[in-house]
Structure 1
Amino acid sequence: MTALLSLQGVSKRYGAVKANSGIDLVVDPGSIHAILGENGAGKSTLMKLIYGVESPDAGSILWKGQPVTLASPADARRLGIGMVFQHFSLFETLSVVQNIALIVPGRQADLARRIRALGAEFGLEVDPEAMVHALSVGERQRVEIIRCLLLEPELLILDEPTSVLPPQSVARLFDTLRALQARGMAILFISHKLEEIKELCDTATILRGGQVTGRVTPRDHSAKDLATLMIGRAMPPPLPATPQAQGEVRLELSGLDYINDDPFGVSLRDVSLRLHSGEIVGIAGISGNGQQELAALISGEVMRPGDAIRMMGRAVGGLDAAHRRRLGFAFVPEERLGRGAVPDMSLADNALLTAHSAGLVQRGFIRRGPERAYTAAIIAAYDVRTPGPEAEAAALSGGNLQKFIMGREMMLAPKLLLASQPTWGVDIGAATDIRQRLVAMRNEGAAILVISEELEELFQICDRLHVLHKGHLSPSLQTAATSVEQVGSYMIGAGA
Structure 2
Amino acid sequence: MPTPTSPPRLQLTAISKQYPGCLANDRIDLSIAPGEIRALLGENGAGKSTLMKIIYGVTQPSSGELRWHGEVMKMRDPAMARGLGIGMVFQHFSLFETLTVAENIALAMGTAAGTPKQLEPQIREVSQRYGMALEPSRLVHSLSIGERQRVEIVRCLMQDIKLLILDEPTSVLTPQEADELFVTLRRLAAEGCSILFISHKLGEVRALCQSATVLRGGRVSGHCVPAECSDLELARLMVGDAEGLESSYPKVSGGLPRLRVDDLSWHNPDPFGCSLSQIRLEVRSGEIVGIAGVAGNGQDELLALLSGETRLARGEQARVSLDGAPIAHLYPDARRTLGLAFVPAERLGHGAVPDLSLSDNALLTAFQQGLVSRGLVQRGKVRELADEIIRRFAVKTPNANAAARSLSGGNLQKFILGREILQNPKLLVAAHPTWGVDVGAAAAIHRALIALRDAGAAILVISEDLDELFQISDRIGALCSGKLSPLAATAHTEAVEVGRWMAGEFAPVAPSHSPAAAPAAAPL
Bucket of the pairwise TM-score, normalised by the shorter protein: over 0.9
Give me the whole-angstrom Cα distance separating, in 2, the residues matched to 1:493 and 1:152. Answer: 38
Whichever residue aligns with residue 384 of structure 1, its letter is V
1:277-311 Cα deviation digits (max 9, x unpaired): 11111111111211111101000111113211111
Q: Give me the TM-score of the superposition, normalised by structure 1.
A: 0.97
Instruction: Classify the secondary structure of the residue corresponding to 2:126.
Output: helix
Q: Cα RMSD between the aligned structures?
A: 1.4
Q: How does 1:42-81 map to 2 (within 5 A)?
A: 42-81=47-86
Contact 2:477 2:501 in 1 (8 A): no
Q: What secondary structure does 1:334 align onto?
A: coil
Please, which of 90, 98, 102 is the counterpart of residue 95 of structure 2?
Answer: 90
Does the Cα contact within 8 Å between 1:382 and 1:403 map onto a contact in 2? yes
- Report percent identity of matched pairs: 53
- How far residue 125 of structure 1 moved from its aligned partner, in angstroms, is 1.9
1:357–1:282 distance in 2 versus 1, CA, 3 Å: same
Asked if the contact 2:10/2:31 (under 8 Å) is kept, the reply is: yes
> Displacement of 1:491 after TM fit?
2.2
- Tell me if the contact between 1:224 and 1:235 (Cα under 8 Å) persists in the aligned partners: no
Distance 1:263 1:441 in 2: 38
The equivalent residue for 2:297 is 289
Which residue does the alignment assign to 1:130? 138
Q: 1:401 aligns with which of 405, 412, 432?
A: 412
- Unaligned runs of at least 5 residues, structure 1: none
Please tell me the residue identity of whatever aligns with 2:30. Answer: L
Alignment partner of 2:31: what SS? strand
2:220 aligned with 1:207: no
Q: 1:129 deviation in Å?
A: 1.0
Q: Is this contact kept in 2: 1:282–1:450, CA < 8 A?
A: yes
- Amino acid corresponding to residue 493 of structure 1 in structure 2: G
Specify which of 11, 17, 21 is matched with residue 12 of structure 1. 17
- The 8 Å contact of residues 310 and 316 in structure 1, kept in 2 or not, is answered as yes
Distance 1:81 1:363 in 2: 55
Pairing 1:302–2:310 present: yes
**Structure-to-structure mapping, 1:222-301, within 5 angstroms:** 222-236=230-244, 238-242=246-250, 244-301=252-309
Return 5+ residue gaps in structure 2 as ranges. 1-5, 508-524
Letter paired with 1:137 = I
For 1:2, what is the secondary structure of its paired residue?
A: coil
Deviates more, 1:407-416 or 1:159-168: 159-168
Instruction: State the alpha-carbon separation in 1 of the partners of residues 286 and 201 from structure 2.
Output: 28
Q: Normalising to structure 2: TM-score of the pair?
A: 0.92
Q: Which moved more, 1:439-448 or 1:181-190?
A: 439-448
> In structure 1, what is the Cα distance between the partners aligned to 2:91 and 2:503?
25
> 1:242·1:443 contact (CA, 8 Å) conserved in 2?
no
Q: Structure 2 residue aligned with 1:322, among 333, 337, 344? A: 333
Cα drift, residue 115 of structure 1? 2.0
1:102 match: secondary structure: helix
Instruction: Quote the residue 1:41 is aligned against.
Output: 46
2:172/2:435 contact within 8 Å kept: no
Matched, 1:152 2:160: yes
Q: Does 1:172 align with 2:180?
A: yes
Verify the 8 A CA contact 1:166 1:491 in the aligned structure 2.
no
Give the letter for the 1:373 counterpart: E
Shift of 1:371: 1.1
| C-alpha distance 465-8 of structure 1, shift in aligned 2 (>3 A) | same
Name 1:355's counterpart in structure 2. 366
The structural deviation recorded for 1:391 is 1.2
Aligned to 1:383: 394
- The residue aligned with 2:518 is none
Between stretches 163-172 and 217-226, larger displacement belongs to 163-172
Query: d(CA) in 2 for partners of 1:480 and 1:106?
Result: 54
Q: Contact 1:32/1:181 (CA < 8 Å) preserved in 2?
A: yes
Q: Secondary structure of 1:39's match?
A: coil
Cα distance in structure 2, aligned partners of 1:437 and 1:252:
24
